[in-house]
């Protein structure tokens, strides 16, 4: 299996193939609107603004598995992110990143880049960096500020 075989669910409920992101550098993030790391949306948007034209795409996957920090509907989450942080990168339907209902994309990401003390995602704002060829090259902890990832993004662009 490769990342481009994964299907993801859009906010409207439709299924999208990850293959539409072939040739792009991806930063895949599980997010939450009521998390201590929520202000990272600002840094993510700055990276997106700076490097989108060069091929960076940030993929936002809201997740309510950690302390129920992503309450509300997909629409409410989208409104919050757009109004408070002015995000413009793609956001998808709320997902599970661990457990029996985990999204296949996250199952794949975790097999490619395991985590510290086990492969499960430990909290919101875990980030995966994927090369233009679809290789998962790095996994970043939730506390990693998006600006600390910039040098790695530049290498892949």
Sequential pLDDT tens for the chain (157 residues): 799 999 999 999 999 999 999 999 999 999 999 999 999 999 999 999 999 999 999 999 999 999 998 988 899 999 999 999 999 999 999 999 999 999 999 999 998 877 665 688 899 999 999 999 999 999 999 999 999 999 999 999 9
CA atoms of 22 and 18, how far apart (whole Å): 8
pTM score, two decimals? 0.94
- 122/44 Cα distance (integer angstroms): 20
Distance CA 156, CA 132 (A): 7
Give me the phi and psi of 45, to 5 degrees please: -65, -40
Q: Would you call 35 a catalytic residue per the annotation?
A: yes
81-87 long-range contacts (CB < 8 A, ≥24 apart) are 81/33, 81/41, 84/41, 85/41, 85/42, 85/45, 86/45, 87/41, 87/44, 87/45, 87/48, 87/60
CATH code, domain carrying 14: 3.40.30.10
Give the single-character DSSP code of 129. Answer: E
Determine the length of the chain.
157
Range of the domain at 129: 3-156
- Marked catalytic residue, from 6, 35, 63, 81: 35
Asked if residue 104 lies in contact with residue 91, where contact means CB atoms within 8 angstroms, the answer is no
The 127-130 sheet, strands edge to edge: 56-62, 25-31, 127-130, 136-140
**Cα 148 to Cα 16, 58, 89, 124, 154, distances in angstroms:** 30, 15, 19, 17, 11
Closest CA to 60 of 40, 145, 111, 49: 40
The C-alpha atoms of residue 154 and residue 64 are separated, in whole angstroms, by 31
pLDDT at 1: 78
**How many domains does the chain contain in total?**
1
């Amino acid at each position: 299996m490769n990342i481009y075989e994964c299907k993801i669910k859009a906010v409207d409920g439709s299924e999208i193939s990850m293959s539409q992101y072939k040739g792009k550098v991806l930063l895949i993030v599980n997010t939450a609107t009521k998390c201590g790391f929520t202000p990272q949306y600002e840094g993510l948007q700055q990276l997106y603004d700076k490097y989108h034209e060069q091929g960076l795409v940030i993929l936002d996957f809201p997740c309510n598995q950690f302390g129920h920090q992503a309450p509300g509907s997909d629409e409410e989450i989208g409104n919050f992110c757009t109004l408070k942080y002015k995000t413009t990168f793609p956001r998808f339907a709320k997902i599970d990143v661990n457990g029996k209902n985990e999204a296949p994309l996250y199952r794949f990401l975790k097999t490619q880049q395991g985590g510290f003390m086990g492969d499960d995602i430990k909290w919101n704002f875990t980030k995966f960096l994927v090369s233009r060829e679809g290789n998962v090259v790095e996994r970043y902890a939730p506390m990693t500020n998006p600006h600390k990832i910039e040098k790695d993004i530049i290498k892949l662009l």
